[in-house]
Structure formats: structure tokens, C-alpha cells
Amino acid sequence: MRLDLLKQLNEARAARRPAVLVTDVASGQQRLVAGSELVDDPLAEALESALRAGKSGMVEVGGRSCFLTVQAPPVRLVVIGAVHISQALAPMAKLAGFDMTIVDPRTAFASPERFPDVRVIAEWPDVAVPPMQLDRYTAMALFTHDPKIDDPALVLALKAECFYIGALGSRKTHARRVERMVAQGFREVDLTRIHAPIGLDIGAVSPAEIAVSVLGEIILALRKKPLRSEKRALEPAI
């Protein structure tokens, strides 16, 4: 690899910026495509697919073989609320490869004893979240039901490019949440990014089941694949 490309790749990694190194197998020529440049690239579809999957590999485009070396930032999951769902979600998220952080100012809940293997920040979200520099490889799940805790984090997530924002609560609770966000200056179209009620509709009841549904919805948003039921709805009738 050329030293200038290696330097650019390392800089992208340090700054949590996605990039793909494209190597033409036949000629050995290489070029680096930044995530912000994908849409204008001749290999846009292949590059986008590789970044979504987070995997390097070979592709065939226009009769030429190219190897795509993917530099995708580690996916982060920021959870607001050190509650029972968070306790169930933590080991699942770790198994799925997510870097999870829990934020909750209530020290009785946000303790190392309750979350021995997770980074826990016992601070208000408006203090704890900004240094994280939320980006398009960050998911946020809001679990407290308390607007004083959830809303400041939600505002930050909406202003950032988080690929997933989910919030616990009924439709009535979410309607009130939307009203508060509109009062904060957000347009209703912006608020459609919020998954609420949070999680896939699998009939989840217990904290563990809700955690499964939330993690499934986050992975679905990350990979951007439609549900099988949605695919069937799009298929033409025969």
C-alpha cells in the first residue's frame, strides 16, 4: 500500500470516518474513497454495500475484479437509563460487537455493581454525551421514561447523524415527546427518525425480550435491510 494512502486510512480510523481502499486486482492500482464521497463514485453501490456490512472483500464491476478494504468505525450503542432492560441488553450488545455505554445521573442505578462489564457514566446526558461526538456509527436507545433525562440526549442524537434513535414508551408517551421536540425547534419530519415504541414488534414483555427486540431493530437499521414481510409486500402479485 502506498504510504500516502496508509496515512489517509489511519487518519480516517482515528477520526471515526468511514473509508474504503479500492484495489484493482489486475493492475494493482489503489485509491481511497472517503465515506462522504461514495455517492459520486463509479463503484458507489458496491462501496455502500461493503460499508453497511462492515466487511472487506472482492467485487466484480464492469468485468474488473476489485478488492475493497473497508475501514468502518466500531459501532457504538449509547443507552440512556441504567434500567433492567439495559442490564439484559449489555451482554447481548457485547456479543454482537457493539461498544456500549450507559448514561444515567441516578447513581443508585448507574453503578459498576449492576453493570460490571459496561462503561457507565453517572452524569446528566447534556454533560456525558457531547464528549462522545455522536456520529453515523452511533445508535442511541432511551429507556428512562423521564423527560428530564431522556430529552437532552434525544436533542443531541437528533442533531447528530446517529443511524438509530429509539425511545421507550407508548404511543401517547411518544406523542408528548414529539410535542416537546417540536417546541425545541425540530420539524416533525425530523422526528420520524425516532423508533417509538422502541424495538421490533415481536410481542416482547420481559426486560430480556425487550432487549432482544431493541438489539434486532438496531442491527436492522445498521444493515438497512427490509424485513421479510416488507419484501413480500413489495413483490408484484402473480
End-of-domain residue from the set 19, 54, 71: 71
Residue 231 placed within a domain: no
Backbone angles phi, psi at 195, to 5 degrees: -85, 105
Domain ranges, residue 166: 76-223
Mean pLDDT of 107-133: 95
Residue 197 placed within a domain: yes
| Cα–Cα distance measured from residue 130 to residue 207, given in angstroms and rounded to the nearest whole number | 28
End-of-domain residue from the set 56, 71, 86: 71
* Structural domains counted in the chain: 2
102: cell is 450507559
Question: Is residue 89 located within the same domain as residue 54?
Answer: no
Residue 81 placed within a domain: yes
| Cα–Cα distance measured from residue 116 to residue 106, given in angstroms and rounded to the nearest whole number | 17
Complete DSSP assignment for 74-88: PPEEEEE--SHHHHH
Instruction: List, for residues 41-56, the tens digit of each pLDDT value.
Output: 888 888 888 887 788 9
Where do runs of H (alpha helix) occur along the chain? Answer: 3-14, 44-53, 84-95, 125-128, 147-159, 171-183, 207-223, 228-234
In this model, does residue 237 exceed pLDDT 80? no
C-alpha dihedral over 172, 175, 176, 177, to 10 degrees? 120
199 φ/ψ sector (left φ>0, alpha ψ -120 to 50, else beta): left
Instruction: List, for residues 61-104, the tens digit of each pLDDT value.
Output: 778 899 999 888 889 999 999 999 999 999 999 999 999 999 99
